[in-house]
Structure 1
Amino acid sequence: MSPDNQGIEPTTARVLADGVHWLGGCLSANAEGQEVHYHVSSYLVLGSEASILVDTGDPAHRDKVLAQLEHALGGRTLDYVFPTHPEIPHAGNLPALLATYPSAVVVGDVRDYALHFPEYKDRLQAKTAGESLDLGDREFRFFPAYIRDLENTLWGYDSGARIMFVSDGFSYIHDVPGPEEDDEPVHLPGQCRLLSTEMPAPPSVEQAAYGTGRALYWTKFVDVGTAFQAIEDTLESYPALMIGPAHGNVIDDVDSMLKTSLAAHRKVYEGQML
């Protein structure tokens, strides 16, 4: 299960657990003369009867995502596509995916997807928080996005591998860029597709706060203590062995990252992170 993490974009998905594959790639930026990357991730969940892709990846990675997906499916078809919300890194490859897999159905909070993709309006299936899909030997459940970018964002949970997919939640960086650099969660080349415990050091509060305060600007004005209590309550009923963010390394030290992320949000809210 060793990832290709030598600074070369992977052409196959990384297997996170039985039936769960980590797809996507990284976009690069320049931080004070040093190249840094940030993840734009998708996740494939393969049940015994059906499959679902969580987020579509960035259009810049379209060919890569399609190749990774074909390899991970191993001859099976894609049944469901779940863009966590209608933003380019999360839904930008939707037309290519639906053209490639003509029986795939788009699921989630799809209230405005017919406006973006009118040609696919008959392949939209609304799902709300609390609803689920039967994938055969596992269930995929939809949850509120306690930390979100857009109003119609949803999170997802795979009961088979016990992974919570959190869209823009829990992203963090590994090197803080200078003030004029892109406001994106980043990491150094060679750290692509590593689990959080495989990184040279765990993320600091400052690293998490940098990404939070810029990618989710509203967190400067909202105390998210209630949201984190809801996250903890949810994880009590639906324990997660891993957390899969769209922008950041997959988290396999969940309890530790919960504490770090909450502290980061509080740091942003208290005005300590501009």
Structure 2
Amino acid sequence: MAREIAPGIHWIYESGPDRTRKLNLAERQPDWYESGQKAYIPQCAYLLVGSNETLLFDTLSPASTEQILSAIDDIVRGRGLDYLVVSHPDVPHAGNTKAILDKHPETTLVAPSYGNDHELYQLDDGIQVAEGDSIELGGRTAQFHEATFLDAPVSVWMTERETETLFPVDWMGFPHLDEEAVKFVDELDGEFDISRLVEFHSRVLFWYQYADVEKTNAEIDALIAKFDPKMIAPAHGLVIRESAPKYMALMKDVTRIIDNDGRIGTLG
């Protein structure tokens, strides 16, 4: 399924009962969880459509090959896909790279310039981007940034300059209930519970349990000052379109909670 989060920016959400990561929360029952509901870690890609060119950020997993190919066709409507940006070589982010490039030979592959051994991931044929590099799409500008919080050395973040949208990839992910799929955070019932962020980061970004709290939180303050985004579009969470810096600041409490309590577990 897909949703336009701003004119020309489309959120592609990996749908289907076997295509998102399910969480077993029946025993722990966190405050945001409703008994009997299914809970998921979402997988998301984002398609930017400018007046001149188009760009897809990440690819979803191979379980959703037909979905991502169909979504591209539905959104670009015969214009073609000009750029495919792979944030990092992990299955939910790069798993459909070959399928997309096979169907869209006109597409230029864009990869992070950070890290080594790009050829191992077949990322050495594309153009490589680093902090400050950008691609002009016509009324839409994709700008690239060194990833501060990441789970692979070959990684890059992105912002869309005109809407001031931050795409922080794995950072700021969080689970949601089945009925909350493709909702904006401000459309959720009740106040957003920080334990959602703790749930994801303690499971997926496992190094959080070893992080230096003060240094990590200083980096978060620096990110807020640097980006001050109007929207946040994570790869494994719902889109935040209101008070985005406030949610970034919540990540400082996430750091402290994981430091005190340790990991919750792994994905089930």
Range of TM-score over shorter length: 0.7 to 0.9
Q: Which residue pairs with 1:232 in the alignment?
A: 224
2-side partners of 1:191 and 1:197: how far apart? 11
Alpha-carbon distance, 1:34 to partner:
4.6
2-side partners of 1:45 and 1:112: how far apart? 28
SS in 1 for 2:109: strand
Q: Which residue pairs with 1:211 in the alignment?
A: 200
1-side partners of 2:254 and 2:147: how far apart? 18
Instruction: Specify the code of the residue in structure 1 equivalent to 2:196.
Output: Q
Alpha-carbon distance, 1:139 to partner:
1.6
Residue by residue over 1:2-38, the C-alpha shift from the partner in whole angstroms, topping out at 9 and shown as x without a partner, is xxxxxxxx3xx21110110001314152523652222
Q: Which residue pairs with 2:256 in the alignment?
A: 266
1-side partners of 2:191 and 2:111: how far apart? 32
Give the ranges of 4+ consecutive aligned residues of structure 1 lying more than 4 Å apart after TM superposition. none
SS in 1 for 2:98: helix
Alpha-carbon distance, 1:133 to partner:
1.1
- Does the CA-based 8 Å contact 1:36-1:188 persist in structure 2? yes
Alpha-carbon distance, 1:163 to partner:
1.0
Alpha-carbon distance, 1:113 to partner:
3.7
Q: Which residue pairs with 2:13 in the alignment?
A: 24
1-side partners of 2:142 and 2:9: how far apart? 12
- Does the CA-based 8 Å contact 2:229-2:245 persist in structure 1? no
1-side partners of 2:71 and 2:256: how far apart? 37
Number of aligned residue pairs: 244
2-side partners of 1:202 and 1:64: how far apart? 32
SS in 2 for 1:52: strand
Q: Which residue pairs with 1:76 in the alignment?
A: 79
- Does the CA-based 8 Å contact 1:29-1:37 persist in structure 2? yes
- Does the CA-based 8 Å contact 2:134-2:143 persist in structure 1? yes
- Does the CA-based 8 Å contact 2:134-2:141 persist in structure 1? yes
1-side partners of 2:23 and 2:140: how far apart? 41
Give the gaps of 5 or more residues in structure 1.
1-9, 174-186
1:61-210 equivalences in 2 (<5 Å): 61-109=64-112, 111-117=116-122, 121-122=124-125, 124-173=126-175, 187-210=176-199
2-side partners of 1:204 and 1:262: how far apart? 14
Identity of aligned residues (%): 26
2-side partners of 1:101 and 1:140: how far apart? 20
SS in 1 for 2:233: strand
1-side partners of 2:77 and 2:109: how far apart? 21
* 1:200–1:88 CA distance, 2 compared to 1 (3 A): same
TM-score, length of structure 1 as denominator length: 0.83
SS in 2 for 1:270: helix
Residue by residue over 1:86-105, the C-alpha shift from the partner in whole angstroms, topping out at 9 and shown as x without a partner, is 00000001000100110111
Alpha-carbon distance, 1:272 to partner:
5.4
Give the gaps of 5 or more residues in structure 2.
27-35
